Structure 1
Amino acid sequence: MAEVSRRPPLLSILIALAGAAFFLVPLIATFNFSLRMTRGELSFAAYRSVFESDTFLSVLGFSTVASLMAIALGALIVVPTAYWVRLRLPHMRPLIEFLSLMPLIIPPVVLVFGYVRLYGTSSILPLTMTETGTNILLVIGYVVLSVPYMYRAVDNGMAAIDIATLTEAAESLGASRPRTIAFVIFPNIRSAIVSGAFLTFSISLGEFVITSLLNRPAFGPYLVQMGQDYAYQPAALAIMAFAFTWVCMVLMELFATRRPGQRLLQWRAPRTVEKAKS
């Protein structure tokens, strides 16, 4: 029988090219526009203008710190929750998964107005009356927005390991449940946590609604304000944000494709582990 050559269908190639052009053509046009700040030549003057701005460095630093705090708080909430649901409450998984999708259903503007009403001047805990309290609300808002992505990343990471066996092994060596989560579960799903962390960081860095309504000096409102006042600098900021997001996506893919290592109880002394094996 003659071997049939496998050629990719022409229609699939055309659809892929059309999809790529739909994303790449506006991106190339934006990048080309960002290089035309100096009349008659292509230059990176708009990028230099952005980096020389003290406001840019300030809002970028604020957003970075807030995003990192949201990543830490989200991991501390999501990892024990996903661990306990998989270990002891498997029948609750559909409900937990549904609840984790609520931030995608409820608009952020509703969420932030709820914060203002709940923690405003007439509440028992008026967080919006102080700068620190408002920053705490901002971080909590970032955590809520990132829950759908962080939870699924962590849950998929736990599906790749045998958490029941790891928990039994840790408990047989005298580990408490918090110690098991911190020194056994966390190291084994670190790639999943990193994937969720990159998604959280990219979402928090460009978030506008919550940040703007809480009046915080972050990157999202700064980008919108630059778009109202300047022509070329917003295009440069958009390209920089796009490049940063793709770097996060590439790093997420690299960490996500690594299989979780079976780290067993490194918090114990090697002699104790050898004694347990024998």
Structure 2
Amino acid sequence: MKRFPAVSTLIVIVAALYFLVPLYATFDFSLRMERGVLSFAAYRDVFQSDTFIATLTFSAIASLVAIVLGALIIVPTAYWVRLKLPKVRPLVEFLTLLPLIIPPVVLVFGYMRIYGNDSFLPLTTTDPGTNVLLVIGYTILSLPYMFRAVDNGMAAIDIATLTEAAESLGASRMRTIRTVIFPNVRSAIMSGAFLTFSISLGEFVMASLLNRPAFGPYLVQMGQDYAYQPAALAIMAFGVTWASMALMQLFATRKPGQRLFPRIPSFTPRSVKP
């Protein structure tokens, strides 16, 4: 008979309690805004706030634009490196890891120095220009996650054979990337996209120093001014993050061309002969 894995089970239980107990305490605290009863008053106040809707919309749009820009940069780069320049792959991997090494505050001050008032392209002097810098910053933060997701997706397909087949049918290299490579790594792109979205949505340093109305600075400001609403925001942010992780896992396990949800078969009743 196999022995019960007591040590590993204990480790799993302790780790689960380490994460779930503070989460439950935060959720319980967020329900006690009205004295003596448990209610969702804190959540109601958050959803009724115009600032909450505005900052969440701004961060969501900036994150989605950064995801699209990152995919347009990473997919052709990873494709070209795997197809023609395999020796350059260690260098590309090192460059995509730099956002994890260099603090975002250094990146923001570099933006201010290069695109400040005295530069040839003063983007920091206007709101649209600052928004562009924030989107570029989010794109840079997404490089480590997007590149590895796309690179792993391309490792699962034979891009050399697909490229030869497309070129034999008269497709150009750009059309091959657009109509052959992109659809085959769509699940990998979505995996990196959900992870990027969950990280960019709560990013604080870049949005704060660039003075943008993003969701991260709003969370910090709410934590300084209120008690129960920040707990409700923390629970909602945690839910968004876990939803993104669940969708990332769902797309990561899907094969190219496979439906996200299986089609329900339709049954046609047979005609009964009298």
TM class by smaller structure: over 0.9
Letter in 1 for 2:200: S
After superposition, residues 246-257 of structure 1 pair within 5 angstroms as: 246-257=242-253
Q: Partner residue of 1:163?
A: 159
Structure 1: where are the runs of 5+ without partners?
263-278
Shift of 1:259: 1.8
Equivalent of 2:133, from 131, 137, 147? 137
The one-character-per-residue Cα deviations of 1:139-191 (angstroms, maximum 9, x if unpaired) are: 00000011000000000000000000111111111111111101100000100
After superposition, residues 1-278 of structure 1 pair within 5 angstroms as: 5-261=1-257
**CA distance in structure 1 between the partners assigned to 2:196 and 2:12 by the alignment:** 29
The one-character-per-residue Cα deviations of 1:183-204 (angstroms, maximum 9, x if unpaired) are: 1000001000000100111111
Number of aligned residue pairs: 258
Shift of 1:8: 3.5
Shift of 1:56: 0.4
Letter in 2 for 1:92: V
Shift of 1:7: 3.3
The one-character-per-residue Cα deviations of 1:199-227 (angstroms, maximum 9, x if unpaired) are: 11111100000000000001000000000
Shift of 1:11: 1.1
Letter in 1 for 2:35: R
Spell out structure 1 runs of 4+ moving beyond 3 A.
none
**CA distance in structure 1 between the partners assigned to 2:135 and 2:2 by the alignment:** 52
SS of match in other structure, 2:106: helix
SS of match in other structure, 1:39: coil
Say if 1:34 and 1:232, in contact at 8 Å, map to a contact too: yes
Letter in 1 for 2:107: L
The one-character-per-residue Cα deviations of 1:48-93 (angstroms, maximum 9, x if unpaired) are: 0000001100001101110100000000000000000000000111
**CA distance in structure 2 between the partners assigned to 1:222 and 1:31 by the alignment:** 19
SS of match in other structure, 1:210: helix
**CA distance in structure 2 between the partners assigned to 1:123 and 1:82 by the alignment:** 33
SS of match in other structure, 1:101: helix
Letter in 1 for 2:40: F
Say if 1:160 and 1:260, in contact at 8 Å, map to a contact too: no
**CA distance in structure 1 between the partners assigned to 2:141 and 2:159 by the alignment:** 27
Say if 1:195 and 1:252, in contact at 8 Å, map to a contact too: yes
**CA distance in structure 2 between the partners assigned to 1:217 and 1:38 by the alignment:** 29
Letter in 2 for 1:79: V
Say if 1:119 and 1:126, in contact at 8 Å, map to a contact too: yes
Shift of 1:10: 1.0
SS of match in other structure, 2:8: helix
**CA distance in structure 2 between the partners assigned to 1:203 and 1:257 by the alignment:** 21
Structure 2: where are the runs of 5+ without partners?
259-274
Say if 1:46 and 1:233, in contact at 8 Å, map to a contact too: yes
The one-character-per-residue Cα deviations of 1:6-40 (angstroms, maximum 9, x if unpaired) are: 23421111111111111111000000000000000
Aligned-residue RMSD, C-alpha: 0.9
